[in-house]
């Protein structure tokens, strides 16, 4: 299968601080990659570089065989890359339905009626069809994140990036979001997931990357990483997070 994303020798700095050092990642179509690691290790930055929310200082990113350059049409690129944020970032002045149809109507120029139909199908899939006329502030965190997932899916992306999607949720609400993501994984979506949900990572990941201080320390199947971590840093991190 083809690589959908290739990140080669990425260097990313915030001012003087280097966040990613000679970072490399290839992602095949349909693959599910989970990135774990301590906070500040650059996990989220990897996702944000892929859809150009962060400019990179070195290296190159290739998406569907095309190298991203200054001339890349960012709007066209980002349409193909769904992103789900830790803090949901739903549009508070729009209803759930309006949140979901916004991008299809404004960016893709889909007819409103058609976009609404698709939105309702997606809301059905995340189990929130009855909330279509609610405003985000009327939803629980878990519901907000499910709407955010539906909103990203409405653009029919080739790949989904999840940036700690359950980290801001109350523990009892994590499950409902994970189960939506699991269904998505089962449907064959290509995914990169930054998370601290190790059980979920074990279950859905094809590959797990452990990052620390801007580099991939260790990568392998969930079994490799979780049961036989080779590096000291991985072992220490897992011990801290699993106990």
Are the CB atoms for 12 and 20 separated by under 8 Å? yes
**Inter-axis angle of helices 141-153 and 112-125, nearest 10:** 130
Structure-token pair, residue 39: 């906070």
Residue closer to another protein, measured from CB, 25 or 161? 161
Candidates 20, 46, 152, 204; binder of another protein (CB under 8 A) is 152
Candidates 71, 93, 232, 240; binder of another protein (CB under 8 A) is 93
Candidates 13, 21, 28, 87; binder of another protein (CB under 8 A) is 87
- Considering only 1-9, 73-81, 167-175, 222-230, which stretch makes contact with another protein by CB under 8 A? 73-81
Nearest partner of 11 among 3, 111, 19, judged by Cα: 19
165-184 binders of another protein (CB under 8 A) = none
Question: What's the min distance (Å) between Cβ of 120 and another protein?
Answer: 18
Q: What string marks each residue from 35 to 64 as x (binds another protein by CB under 8 A) or -?
A: ----------------x-x-----------
Residue closer to another protein, measured from CB, 101 or 209? 101
Please count the CA atoms within 13 angstroms of the CA of 76 that sit on its side-chain side: 7
**Angstrom distance (rounded) from CA 126 to CA 88:** 15
Question: What's the min distance (Å) between Cβ of 82 and another protein?
Answer: 8
Listed as own residue / partner, the contacts of 177-182 with beta carbons closer than 8 Å and 24 or more positions apart are 177/142, 177/145, 177/146, 177/149, 180/125, 180/126, 180/127, 180/146, 180/149, 181/149
Cβ neighbours of residue 175 closer than 8 Å, sequence gap 6 or more: none
Residue closer to another protein, measured from CB, 88 or 226? 88
**Angstrom distance (rounded) from CA 21 to CA 100:** 36
- Considering only 56-64, 121-129, 146-154, 171-179, which stretch makes contact with another protein by CB under 8 A? 146-154
68 part of the interface to another protein, by CB under 8 A: no
103-142 binders of another protein (CB under 8 A) = 103, 106-108, 135
Which residues make up the interface to another protein (CB under 8 A)?
51, 53, 74-76, 78-79, 81-83, 85, 87, 89-93, 102-103, 106-108, 135, 148, 151-152, 155
């Amino acid at each position: 299968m083809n690589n959908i994303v290739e990140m080669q020798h990425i260097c990313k700095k915030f001012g003087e601080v280097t966040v990613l050092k000679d970072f490399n990642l290839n992602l095949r179509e349909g693959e599910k990659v989970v990135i774990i690691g301590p906070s500040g290790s650059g996990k989220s930055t990897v996702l944000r570089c892929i859809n150009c929310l962060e400019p990179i200082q070195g290296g190159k990113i290739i998406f569907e065989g095309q190298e991203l350059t200054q001339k890349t049409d960012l709007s066209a690129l980002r349409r193909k890359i769904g992103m789900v944020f830790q803090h949901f970032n739903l549009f508070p002045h729009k209803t759930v339905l309006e949140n979901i149809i916004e991008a299809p109507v404004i960016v893709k120029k889909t007819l409103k009626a058609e976009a609404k139909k698709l939105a309702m199908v997606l809301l059905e899939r995340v189990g929130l069809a009855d909330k279509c006329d609610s405003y985000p502030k009327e939803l629980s965190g878990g519901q907000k994140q499910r709407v955010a997932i539906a909103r990203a899916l409405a653009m029919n992306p080739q790949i989904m990036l999840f940036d700690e999607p359950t980290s801001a949720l109350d523990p009892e609400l994590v499950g409902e979001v994970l189960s939506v993501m699991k269904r998505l994984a089962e449907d064959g979506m290509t995914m990169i997931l930054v998370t601290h949900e190790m059980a979920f990572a074990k279950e859905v990941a094809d590959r797990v990357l452990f990052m620390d201080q801007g580099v991939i320390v260790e990568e392998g199947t969930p079994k490799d990483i979780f049961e036989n971590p080779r590096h000291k840093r991985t072992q220490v991190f897992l011990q801290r997070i699993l106990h």
